Every structure is written in structure tokens, then in C-alpha cells.
Amino acid sequence: MTLRTVRRALVGLAAAALTTTALTATASAAPADAGPGHGGHTATQAAMEAQVEAGVPGLLGQARDGDGIWQGSAGVADLRTGRERLPQDRFRVGSITKAFVSTVLLQLEAEGRLGLDDTVEHHLPGLVRGNGNDGSRITLRQLLSHTSGVYNYTEDPDVHAQLSTGFPEHRYESRTPRQLVAVALKHRPDFRPGTRWHYSNTNYILAGMIVEKVTGHPYGHEIDRRILGPLGMRSTSLPGSSPLMPSPHGRAYSKLLSTDPQAPVQDVTELNPTWAWSAGEIISTTGDLNRFYRALLGGKLLPERQQKELTTTVSGGDELPGARYGLGVATVTLSCGVPVWFHGGGIHGSVSMASGTADGRHTAAFNLNGDWSGDPGALLEAEYCGTVASGSGTGEHTAVRKLAALN
């Protein structure tokens, strides 16, 4: 697969996420030498610095491989003070949340408490109906693989306006999961269940509701006791309706989806994430994301049957050129022939990427603290292939942003 095709695929995934002047890059790296297939993480650091030169305020990255842990940064965490980004900084991970939700549902299947071929109607009777929507025809597997056809509520014009130009007015408002689903059900389905692929945050709102129906507990409680606690992910949290970020953290910057290059940069660090809920509310660190992907891909969280279901993929068609989607994770073969599992996550002022090889022995996680520029796909190419490319984040580089956005 060519580098051009790979980057179209990666940007296609990250563009399902939300979608200042260039700063001088700064860098810090913990001692770690050669990574698999290339000499150390020099290319990764260079790719991060290229993102800053292209306009991203700051980046944070961590890689784990057979040689240990490498930590890198570029740019700043705070445009006002100039503070550099710290390895322990928390940030919003957006749609990377989806892998946590799918893992819980797969664990529940392994326990015999539900089946992936159960219908939505079976667990949430009467909820998904009207305008051609029929929960009795949609399975849990189709929710997790984005093949349900249910409309993406963040594509609704009113919601989109609230998340973009109306963000200053609506940033602290709370939404309930049922309200988010109701927005989606005002629209007809995009297609018959199981016939196509289209990224829809509504799928994972429904998945979170099913976790709560089956367990009788908040879905965040199940993530905490099944994943965060056992893995020691002490820097990861689910904020609920709180707009605040736990310390330490930098700032998050956005142009609120404006396509105007001269649009003002706004500080969007504080927001009520209930509009994302189980589709994208988690806060974490690069270290915790690597810990999660290492365990998930390494088979430490799921039995063999459920691990196979996690990584059984469907084509994303023209939306995900060159990539395939499993259950909350996606895969692409990079230009150097290395297959990588990954998911992006985008929410106001934060674009993140979590990734790993199939065995989980080499993982890498990144965060960009601006949502209008940058190329997460270039970071994967740099880390796993040693390829340094431009950080422009335009044109063909828009495919990893698809999965990283929540619009």
C-alpha cells in the first residue's frame, strides 16, 4: 500500500472526530533507543515538530516497545504561559472511549449476560423506533461495527451548530443519552442494518445504555472496575457532567470547526462532555492509553473468542480507504507493510490517537491540543515505519481525522 493511500485511510478514520500561529518546537524524550524496524524514535519526534510548524499549539507522545518507554513533546501546553507539555498531562480522548465500551460489552458476552447478535430492541424495548428506525432489526454487533445505519446525532444541523458556532453559549449544558438518541431518531436511517458502513456516535450511546441496562450500573462504573482498576490506569477518568479537567493538564484550543484560516483560536478546555457520553467522554494520558492498548491487543482483557470478535473487521468503503473497522478499533497496513490497530479521538481542542501492533508489544499514543490542524496519520507512519512527512493535515491527510472527530 502506498504512503498516499495509507494516509488517506488514516485521515478518513480520524475525520469522524471534531473536526495560532506556528510555534517553535520544543522536545523532551526519556532514554529509549531503537524501536522495531527503525532507528529509535527520531522520526516520531521530527513528525511531532512538523505538526507544530504547521500550526498545532502542542503535541504529546509516548511509545512502548521492546526497548522500553519513549516520551516526546513538541510545542506548548499553554499559549499564554508557554508551559511545555508534560508526560503526565491529562487530555480528553474523544472517540478512543469507544474501545473501552466495546471491551465491556464483549466481557459481558463472555459472561453469558448478552450476545452480540441480540437486538437493540431486546435490551432497550421501544427506544429505537420511528422514521424507518427499527431496533428489532439492529444487533449489538452492528452498533459496535458502525453498520447499524442509525443516524449520527452529531451530524444533526442543530447539534452541529451547538458544537461549533454556538459552543460558547452551549458549552456547559447537559444532555442525557435519551436526548442524544432522540435527535438521531428524528432522521431516517442512513441504510438498512448490515448493508454498509458509516461512522455514527449514536451507535455507542446505545451501547452505553445497553451496558447500564444489563448490569444495573452506570457504564462508567463498569469501565472503572473492569478496565481502569485492574490495569492500574489511575490517570484515566470519566467526568460525567463536570466541565473541569483533573490536574495536571494543559489547555485545549479550537477554531470551532471554522474553515476560515484567520478564525480566532479559542480556549475550550472547559466543557460539559455529556454530549459525547459513552461515545467520547473519557479523559486520560498517553501512558494510560498505551497501557490499555497493550492489554487489549495482547489478549489480557478478553477471552480468545471475544478477542476474535473484537478484531473481525468490515470494510469502511470510501469513508475509510485502505482501512477496516472492528468493534471499537480499526486496522490499516502502513506504507512499510506493518499492520497497526488504532483509533482516533477528537473533541473540542483535542485530537488523540491510540495505536498498537497486533500483539500489543509496540504501542504509541499521541495528543494534539488544537483541533484545526495536524496529521495523526503522519505520527503513526513515523513511529512504526520511521517515515517523516509533512504535518500539514490538509487534503489527503484528512482520512485519520475522520475517526478522531465527533461531528
What's the 3-state SS for the chain? CCHHHHHHHHHHHHCCCCCCCCCCCCCCCCCCCCECCECCCHHHHHHHHHHHHCCCCEEEEEEEECCEEEEEEEECCCCCCCCCCCCCCEEECHHHHHHHHHHHHHHHHHCCCCCCCCEHHHHCCCCCEECCEEHHHCEHHHHHCCCCCCCCHHHCHHHHHHHCCCHHHHCCCCCCHHHHHHHHHCCCCCCCCCCCCCCCHHHHHHHHHHHHHHHCCCHHHHHHHHHHHHHCCCCCECCCCCCCCCCCECCCEECCCCCCCCCCCEECCCCCHHHCHHHCCCEECHHHHHHHHHHHHCCCCCCHHHHHHHCCCEECHHHCCCEEECCCCEEEECCCCCEEEEEEEEECCEEEEEEECCCCCCEEEEEECECCCCCHHHHHHHHHHCCCCCCCCCHHHHECCECCCCC
Say which of 95, 278, 284, 373 is annotated catalytic.
Answer: 95
On whether the CB atoms of residues 370 and 56 are closer than 8 A, the answer is: yes
Active site residue 392: no
Report the alpha-carbon distance of residue 384 to residue 44 in Å, rounded: 9
Q: How many CB atoms lie within 10 A of CB 270?
A: 15
Catalytically active residues are 95
